[in-house]
Amino acid sequence: VRRQEKPPYSYIALIVMAIQSSASKRLTLSEIYQFLQQRFPFFRGSYQGWKNSVRHNLSLNECFIKLPKGLGRPGKGHYWTIDPASEFMFEEGSFRRRPRGFRRKC
């Protein structure tokens, strides 16, 4: 069985799409997974390695900020949002690659 083709976007761009689709501009890890699975067939198959790539990108790129969920919020984990200092890179649906020398800041 042939696997679906991976979307033509970086994981950073895919995560940003997910977060920007939220009214609150923040999502939990499982909500990011859900968005990707609903939007792109590649993420619906039996291959699960992509989830590790999402976690890796959230943790290692400074353009993503981990926020506490707050008291009384169900479920484990945190919210993820985009650092306001990095938002200019994703304005108007632009998912351009990071500029040279802009390491780990998306």
pLDDT tens-digit map of 52-85:
999 999 999 999 999 988 766 666 789 999 998 8
In a domain? residue 92: no
Per-residue pLDDT band at 89 (split at 50, 70, 90): confident
In a domain? residue 63: yes
Q: Is the per-residue pLDDT at 103 higher than 60?
A: no
Residue 92: per-residue pLDDT: 61
Q: Is the per-residue pLDDT at 22 higher than 70?
A: yes
In a domain? residue 98: no
Distance CA 29, CA 54 (A): 9
In a domain? residue 56: yes
Q: What is the mean pLDDT of residues 86-94?
A: 70
In a domain? residue 36: yes
In a domain? residue 73: yes
SS3 sequence of 24-93: CCEEEHHHHHHHHHHHCHHHHCCCCHHHHHHHHHHHHCCCEEEECCCCCCCCCCCEEEECHHHHHHHHHH
Q: Is the per-residue pLDDT at 30 higher than 60?
A: yes
* CATH code (residue 55): 1.10.10.10
Question: How many domains are there within the chain?
Answer: 1
